Each structure stands twice: as C-alpha cells, then as structure tokens.
Homo-oligomer: A and B are copies of this chain.
C-alpha cells in the first residue's frame, strides 16, 4: 500500500538549526499546518525565482502594530513583490512609525476606558498613542498643498506621499522603487481622514476607479502571475478580480485565520478561485491557516536563506 504516496516524516529538530532547515523538516512531514507552511515557502520561492512571474502581494490586518513592518519592507526592497495592495490602516500605522511614533506592548485584557483616558488606541495587545493623528495632519498638509488642483489615481497619490517620507517605510520604498501600491479603500483610514480634512477647503481630486486600469494592465501583460495574500479583505479581493479579468494566477499562497463556511472572500479557500477563473486549474497553491505574525517571520527567514 501507499504506492505513489509519500510517508509523513516526523519533524527532526536539531540544536541551532536554521529556520529554513526546520521548514524543510515540516515539508518532509508534509501534512496539516506544518506541511502547508513548508508548501507556502516553496511556492513563494518559486514565484519570486520565476523570471516570467509578476508577484502580487495583498495585505490586510494589523501587520504593522504586530511587528511585521520591517519584513514587509524587506520583501518590497528585495524585489520579491511587483505589485502591493494594502489597507489604509496599514499605511496609517506605517506613516506613524515613519514619523517617529512606535506601537507598544500592551494587554488584550486592558481596561479600555482607562486606555482611552490615557490616549492609547488598542489593537488586541498592541497600543498606538492617539497623538499620532495631529502629527499625521501636520506632515500631510504641505504634501497635499503641493497636489492642489491635480487629478490623481490613488496609486499616484500614495507615491507622492511616499516621496516625501524621510524614514524607511512601506510608502517610501514603493515610491522609490516604483512599486505600484494600491489601496482601494484609502478613505477608510486615518490617512484618508486627514485628506478629507484638507479637501474641505482645497481642490484635490482623487479618483475611486482610475487604478483599476493600471492593475489590470499589469495583470494582462504579465506572462505569469503569482499571488500572496496576508489576510483577506479588499487587498485579496482586488487582486483576485484582477486575476479573474486577465490571466489566472499560476502560484498562490494565502495566510488567514478566517473561516470558509460563511462564504465571504476573506475566508474562501484558494481552490474556490478556480471556478471563477482567478486561479489556474493546474496552479500550485497553499492555504495556510495561521496567525500571520507567526507564519510570516518563518516564511520570510526561510526565503532569505533560499533566495539570492
């Protein structure tokens, strides 16, 4: 029995082993979450190393408050990612850190009324000082003033901000390396609110639809596509629809803790995308059910060992 099937290897850990060595062991086990983690590393490695492949990274959720900011920046700096789709919240927290603020290690069981009095905004056990907002406004005002009268797509608008950010950041690296950065729901964020404050008295036009042309052009002209989803939400769905209306993805990895049963896009298994024409029937893909603040560091460290 078992012809054609590989045995489940039992993970061997050795003292001082590298992260990639451990991931290879999980790959030898090959099943359950550990197997999916190893498969995720393999697939991302393949898409990054595939010269013909355009890599789309969709990211939602509290990755910056969760300590994953430098990993995301490195993925962009390293040239692993060709298109970045994210949330306004991620960009707001990124900008807050670029302006010298930090997030703080707190408690998920805090007294929230007390935190409110002290000026802390809580995300599970990570705190952001609320004083971020006025500083954000001060920073953005002159930049926005320089855009008055223009009509911009959100991507152009974000690059413009990125060019004005001094510190290493997601926004800066995308602007510098000319990585298309999309944020369809930008108005849904602190950053968006600051813009809103400004346009109360100034003329500045940012289009809700113009970016679609760019992402679809990229997807259409790509020889192959690979997609990586950290969390679901709009970033995943926005890339998925670009796949649906162009060439389907040949590689795909998603990391989420959302459930598939309620039928929403965030928790939908990648396989479902085959019906829609978002994913090639023969694509390599992995659904990784894991908190991304656990999975991403492991994946990233393993990839650094493997690539370049």
A68 nearest CB across to chain B (Å): 6
A272 nearest CB across to chain B (Å): 5
Within 8 A of B (CB), among A229-285: 231-234, 237-238, 241, 245, 257-268, 271-277, 281
Contact B66 A263 (CB under 8 A): yes
For A, the interface residue count at a CB cutoff of 8 angstroms equals 134
Chain B's closest residue to A237 (CB) is B188
A226 within 8 A of B: no
A82 within 8 A of B: no
A54 nearest CB across to chain B (Å): 19
The residues of B that contact A32 with a CB separation of less than 8 Å are 62, 65-67, 124-126, 261-263, 291, 293
Chain B CB within 10 Å, residue with most, of A18, A31, A106, A276: A31
* Bound CA span A213–B197, Å: 9
A198 nearest CB across to chain B (Å): 9
* Bound CA span A141–B286, Å: 39
A173 within 8 A of B: no
A123 within 8 A of B: yes
A162 within 8 A of B: no
A116 nearest CB across to chain B (Å): 5
Contact A186 B208 (CB under 8 A): yes
Given known contacts A103-B8, A105-B8, is B207 in contact with A33 (CB within 8 Å)? no
A51 within 8 A of B: no
A16 within 8 A of B: yes
A164 nearest CB across to chain B (Å): 19
A–B pairs, 12, beta carbons within 8 Å: A2-B102, A8-B67, A31-B66, A34-B68, A61-B265, A61-B266, A112-B274, A193-B212, A196-B213, A231-B262, A257-B259, A258-B266
